[in-house]
Structure 1
Amino acid sequence: MLITTRRRLFMGIGAAALGATATLAVQPAAVADEARPSARTFQECRGLTVDKHAPVISTASVFVKASPKTVWRLHTNIDNWSSWIPEITPAQKKTPGPLRPGSVFEWSPQGMHVTSTVKKVRTERCTAWAAPVNGIAGVHLFTFKPVKGGVIATTQESWSGAPAEADIPGNQASLDTGLRDWVNRLKETAETQHACH
């Protein structure tokens, strides 16, 4: 179930772990430690990471029992995000072709209009995008690590700027909740699709 504070998550763009770290419990136990980033771990996508000095930084990670191809397809099919994350409808890629550096997409979390620009991509391994939204500079990373039986999907996001600093505990809680929800939905959808095949 989503809460209204997710509005803050989806107006943002990116991620990493600093201070409070939100991490999902994962299965099987053999990959649990690997899917639980430490409080000072910063994910990277082709050398790009989040703003390590941002006042709000969060991480969520989960084990997905599905193929890397299935997880990647769901993650990068932005035009279809609304089928599993309806709160961001509409979401639409504006740049034709596969997701790549310079690709632009628009989405409408909680009725707001956001334009994000992809900065880095490594097929089936990671994406990073950024966008300024209502005075918040956000950086959002997703990383995908193939492991036995599936993929560890991690999302990290950082928020900086006056609105982020105005309520750090509230923004942190909202971002933590939103990122946990995002990866949990990715897990549920990917595992359902994987089981159908």
Structure 2
Amino acid sequence: MTSRHKLMQGMAVAAVATATTLSAPSVAAAHQAQPGAGTYQECRGVTVDKNAPVVSRASVLIKAPLTTVWKLHTDIDAWATWIPEITPARKKTPGPLRPGSVFEWSPQNMKVTSTVASVQRLRCTAWTAPVNGIDGVHLFTFKPVKGGVLATTEESWAGHPVEADIPGNQAALDAGLNDWVNRLKSTAETRTGCTDHRGK
């Protein structure tokens, strides 16, 4: 399998579980990080499902302005310019992303509808929902640090399809999230004139 095919497979698998319909309040109430279980990312009270059989995280330092990174991440209608494997994608709700915003995308030619659970401008987004028997909760956080922006994505998968093959699903989600943040890094740095895409 070529690296491009692996990229497409990993991103598509990860994308399938990020589309969601759970409400923000139910997510906030059910998914709280617990001491000793690791530090979970949070977007205004929303976290991944810490009890899910599969939870993954990927982080990368992006040497680009926060505004550039944020625009790439939230301009869903323009995702095709840097992550075409999960497009076509478009917002159904006009205006900036906010709780309740709906958008559609098409991993592996499947039409998926996602609803935003939480958002804080220039800081984080979260969306959630059952897709093909998988309950996914997906967060992105952005933190200004020395040298750029620390972008972190974290996602949990739960449901019978996940439990049927936990190692396989864990590997797929790990690969998908890692590819996603590194594609974000590469695009943001290229557009701002940085040529070092090694993630250091």
| Same fold? TM cut 0.5 | yes
**What residue in structure 2 maps to residue 156 of structure 1?**
154
Aligned to 2:40, the other structure's residue is in SS state coil
Q: Tell me how far 1:149 sits from its aligned partner.
A: 2.0
Q: TM-score, normalised by structure 2?
A: 0.83
Letter in 2 for 1:100: R
Structure 2, unpaired ranges of 5+:
20-35, 195-200
Give the total of aligned pairs. Answer: 173
Letter in 2 for 1:9: A
Shifted more, 1-10 versus 105-114: the winner is: 1-10
Residues 125-153 of structure 1: per-residue CA shift (max 9 Å, x gap): 00000121101010000000001221000
**What residue in structure 2 maps to residue 33 of structure 1?**
none
Letter in 2 for 1:185: R
Shifted more, 112-121 versus 39-48: the winner is: 39-48
Q: 1:71 aligns with which of 61, 69, 72?
A: 69
Structure 1, unpaired ranges of 5+:
15-37
Q: How does 1:15-164 map to 2 (within 5 A)?
A: 40-164=38-162
**What residue in structure 2 maps to residue 187 of structure 1?**
185
What percent identity do the matched residue pairs reach?
A: 69
Q: Tell me how far 1:39 sits from its aligned partner.
A: 7.6
CA distance in structure 2 between the aligned counterparts of 1:51 and 1:5, rounded to whole angstroms? 23
Letter in 1 for 2:159: G
CA distance in structure 2 between the aligned counterparts of 1:185 and 1:117, rounded to whole angstroms? 23
**What residue in structure 2 maps to residue 24 of structure 1?**
none
Aligned to 1:146, the other structure's residue is in SS state strand
CA distance in structure 2 between the aligned counterparts of 1:181 and 1:58, rounded to whole angstroms? 12
**Contact residue 13 and residue 129 of structure 1 kept, 8 A:** yes
Once superposed, which parts of structure 1, at least 4 consecutive aligned residues long, lie more than 2 Å away? none
Letter in 2 for 1:143: T
Letter in 2 for 1:78: I
Residues 75-113 of structure 1: per-residue CA shift (max 9 Å, x gap): 000011111111101111100000100000000011111
CA distance in structure 1 between the aligned counterparts of 2:56 and 2:63, rounded to whole angstroms? 23
Letter in 1 for 2:46: L
Q: Tell me how far 1:8 sits from its aligned partner.
A: 1.9
Residues 37-71 of structure 1: per-residue CA shift (max 9 Å, x gap): x9822100001100000001000000000011000
